[in-house]
Homo-oligomer: A and B are copies of this chain.
Amino acid sequence: MSLLVLKFGGTSVADLDRIRNAARHVKREADAGHAVAVVVSAMAGATNQLVALVEEAWGYKAAKQNGGSELSAQYDCREYDAVVASGEQVTSGLLALVLQSMGVKARSWQGWQIPLHTDDAHRAARITGLAVDELKTRMLDGEVAVIAGFQGIAPGNRISTLGRGGSDTSAVALAAALSADRCDVYTDVDGVYTTDPRLVPKAHRLDRISYEEMLEMASQGAKVLQTRSVELAMQRSVRVLVRSSFDPPDLGGRTAEADGTGLGTLVCHEDEIVEQNVVSGIAYARDEAKVTLLKVADKPGVAAQVFGSLATANINVDMIVQNVSEAGYTDLTFTVQSADLDRALEVLRKAKDKIGYADLRGSTDIAKVSAIGVGMRSHAGVAAQMFSALAEKGINIEAISTSEIKISVLIDAAYAELAVRTLHSLFGLDSR
């Protein structure tokens, strides 16, 4: 017998047919004698509807229609949480009922019932404590615990939510608190791929990936697991299996290894991965934009001025490149999220006198392509290999950033697909 935490996201509980499908996966594990907790998201679309209601209640919609781009004040996030958390409440009750109708003992748990304590950073709360004694006793007694994900209880007895994708974090935190053998995240893909299979048909599913690689993959645009949940899993050594809720509940006769591999991708510690490639995956992102400041004074304090202004406006900067100085001046290039580009340009235009620059340019025609792999730590020359392969294809590199396990390059968006395919082949990831 194992102790398992299963997690089903919004598309996996989108309607009652999907909820019934999820229930069959749960029943399979319960019937196998495992003690099971299930964490559920809101039915796909429900959260967006609730958020729209909140914004309309506060007057965002009216403000937007009147052409107001900025709003006088933020709404009360405690009320946002009270409204939005209702989505997971509904799913948890429904899944418990479906399980009962299939003869599986089950009950729903809201965040405040467990209780799953959080801080008071409403709308993006962090988990501060989790009491699982009663939960665990009942699970070991054969009752499936169906838990409303994404939500908790904040100081002052108010409902809190963990922010978008928070159900992943709920599931991992619960698995840690329960000392679960594994946390199975059922999603609409059957695992983590070497790269996006829509782009590269030869991409293949990884049996295992390390937490560090997964973090880089996620932040590079492979959005399978919420970043915070992977960090938490790494920190608390929770083995997470990414698998598909579209698999037939009887698994179509397939069998998995004891650790679940064969059915999905196991996210685990590096030392659990026996056969380690130098590069495990190629990620790409098209949602970044490039900003260039021309002829900036090459003196201390200028960069601080530029990035300080952006930070104040809550704009995250990713890659930064500064060219060689020429006669006391330099060009400064960096990337921001595409959605932030207009705001970034506005901030920089307003600060023109303080910063001092000749011209300001913004462009969204760029892509970021990254090679990721813990094997890089022990292999020299990966970057050189990568740059020359791209050069051979005539792809110009506009910026470079690296970490211990990742090399990212910024290129013209038109070459994104070619670059990804080139690197996928280069590092031996094409499926045989």
Contacts and interface: CB of A to CB of B under 8 A. Distances in A.
A97 B89 CA distance: 20
A2 interface: no
Contacts of A159: 110
B78 A107 contact: yes
Contacts of A87: 86
A244 B149 CA distance: 40
A332 interface: no
A96 interface: yes
Name the residue in A87, A92, A110 with the highest tally of chain B Cβ atoms < 10 Å from its Cβ: A110
Interface string A148-160: 0000000001110
Interface string A81-114: 0110111011011111110110000011010110
Given A110-B159, A157-B113, A159-B110, A80 B93 contact: yes
Contacts of A110: 82, 159
A97 B16 contact: no
Nearest to A16: B56
A381 B380 CA distance: 109
A369 interface: no
A216 to B, nearest CB: 38
Contact of A97 (B79, B96, B108, B157): B79
Contacts of A89: 82-83, 85-86, 89
Copy count, this protein chain? 2
B113 A53 contact: no
Nearest to A53: B94
Contact of A94 (B83, B92, B107): B83
Contacts of A95: 57
* Interface core residue of A86, A89, A97, A98 (most chain B CB under 10 Å): A97
A76 B96 contact: yes
Contacts of A158: 113
Nearest to A59: B101
A54 interface: yes
A90 B93 CA distance: 16
